[in-house]
Amino acid sequence: MSWKSDPYYLDIADKAEIGRVSGHGSFSRFRIMPEYTWAEYIMKRFLDERGIKYVHRWRFRTENGWLLEYDFYLPTHAIAIEVDPGFHQKTDNPVTRNVFLRDRDKDDWSKQHGIELIRIQVHPKINDFVNEVNKKLARRLHVRPM
């Protein structure tokens, strides 16, 4: 079954769109389950449906003492996945600057430890997000796309 005809994905899309339009919370942080944003949940389904083993919110400590975490870590592939909302690239205020610096530390730590870090940008439309997942992960992991 295609994700486009899956009632569960469509329900997520409807709820996420309602949350964004009505101004209740951030679209990218809409939570379908307490521990997952909607985008992380789609990523979880992508990995689960393909039998790919992962650790959600895998934590590690950097050499400078920061405690960081990947959204998903695939130990058998040595791949980490970060599902990033758009503000991760902004450095114009102290909050987003800290996120940017943490992301840079994750990039550096990943390179030092031989982990491929794949960043997937959250898009306002689920179709665009799914296309990004397919483009960056399905080919890389040699699995069927959504």
Number of domains in the chain: 1
- CB neighbourhood size of 85 (10 A): 16
**Does residue 146 fall inside a structural domain?**
no
CATH number at residue 123: 3.40.960.10
**Which two tokens mark 30?**
């809409």
Which domain does 112 fall in, by range? 3-141
pLDDT tens, position by position, 54-110: 999 999 888 888 889 999 999 999 999 999 876 545 556 666 777 788 888 899 999
**Does residue 123 fall inside a structural domain?**
yes
The predicted pLDDT at position 125 comes to 80
Contact 126, 16 (CB under 8 A): yes
Residue 70 DSSP symbol: E
Q: How far apart, in whole angstroms, are the C-alpha atoms of residue 139 and residue 117?
A: 15
**In sequence order, what are the residues at sequence separation of 6 or more whose Cβ sits closer than 8 angstroms to the Cβ of residue 100?**
88, 89, 90, 91
Does this model's pTM top 0.95? My answer is no
**Does residue 8 fall inside a structural domain?**
yes
Mean pLDDT of 40-67: 90
| Amino acid letter for position 49 | E
pLDDT tens, position by position, 102-122: 888 899 999 999 999 999 988
The predicted pLDDT at position 29 comes to 45
**Does residue 136 fall inside a structural domain?**
yes
**In sequence order, what are the residues at sequence separation of 6 or more whose Cβ sits closer than 8 angstroms to the Cβ of residue 3?**
9, 42, 130, 146
**Which two tokens mark 124?**
């306002």
pLDDT tens, position by position, 3-39: 444 444 445 444 444 333 333 334 444 444 567 888 8
**Does residue 133 fall inside a structural domain?**
yes
